[in-house]
Chains A and B, each alone.
Chain A
Amino acid sequence: MACGAKGRVGDYLAWLRHTQGEAAVSAALQTGAWVGPQAPPPAPPLALADAIIYHLSLTPTALAYYHKRGLTDDTILRRRLGYGAPPGKSHQRFVLPILSRGQLVNLKFRRDDTCPTCGAIGQSEGEELICLQGHRYRPADPDEKYIGIQGHNRPFSGAPTKRPAPV
């Protein structure tokens, strides 16, 4: 396949099917090459074990954020809420595993929009953020508010690539 990502052919075909339709998938399979518009290969799926590693990487600041959002320790523990950088990214995010019947369906990475001045939660106001104390700032993380990575139920996949430094 033209995408050349070993082990990602299934994901690539799924993406192709989703964006271009079944005919494009058949054409790609027959020719062994994809000549359509280039798309970044989808991120490899993450496993439940990855979610647990993100959960174990929770920093006191991240824990405080979840508490400020009204979440109890029981919810944080049972839902394995975590903190860390998505694979291939450098900025730390809040990690929300989406589980269905105990299986990881998706791992959502929410941008860390806490105010760099006072640590309060920031809310979007146009391209800027404004915290509860009235500080205006731009998000340090240039990516969109949420990044979602598909989950799978195979054993540990090796992500995350970066872990926060111990506090």
Chain B
Amino acid sequence: MIWIVEGELDRLVLTQHLPSDAAAVTSTGGADTFARGWASLLKAPHIFVLYDNDEAGERGATKVRAALPRAVSVPLPLWLGRRGDLTDYFLAGGTYEALLDLARHALRRRR
């Protein structure tokens, strides 16, 4: 399982919570940066996009899905607010297990 997140600091925070069979990656260039050529480098049964709850995050996630159609966007919980990000999620007590539930839900909704 691969999680694509918006920035390096988010990636570091998520990595602290990941089991050994999952990885987190980021472009380090912000939400708007995702080159089509990177898609073929990401090989995993499940790829989730976990960007911020704001307009830039939504735009970035759309860009990732355009380059990588099998990637599934996972919206962060609404209680984080419009500007909430992955760091806020973990700082507010969010767990990796709950994140997985959100990912499963997003996967089911897509099917």
Chain A residues at the B interface, C-beta cutoff of 8 Å: 68-72, 75, 79, 81, 96, 98, 106, 108, 110, 123, 145-146, 148
B residues near A98, Cβ cutoff 8 Å: 8, 28
| Count of B interface residues, CB-CB < 8 Å | 13
User: Provided the pairs A70-B87, A70-B91, A123-B83 are in contact, do residues A75 and B30 lie with their beta carbons within 8 angstroms?
Assistant: no
Q: Which of B8, B9, B16, B87 contacts A72 (CB 8 A)?
A: B16
A residues near B28, Cβ cutoff 8 Å: 96, 98, 106, 108, 146, 148
B residues near A123, Cβ cutoff 8 Å: 83
Q: Is the interface of B mostly helix, strand, loop or mixed?
A: helix
Q: Does B62 contact A (CB under 8 A)?
A: no
User: A148: shortest Cβ distance to chain B, in Å?
Assistant: 7
Which among A69, A98, A145 has the highest number of chain B CB atoms within 10 Å? A69
User: Provided the pairs A108-B8, A123-B83 are in contact, do residues A69 and B30 lie with their beta carbons within 8 angstroms?
Assistant: no
Query: Within residues 21 to 68 of chain B, which ones have a CB less than 8 A from any CB in chain A?
Result: 28-30
B residues near A145, Cβ cutoff 8 Å: 30
CA distance A44 to B12 in the complex (A): 26
B residues near A72, Cβ cutoff 8 Å: 16
Which 9 pairs show the lowest CB-CB distances between chains A and B?
A70-B13, A96-B8, A70-B90, A70-B91, A70-B87, A69-B9, A69-B87, A75-B12, A71-B12
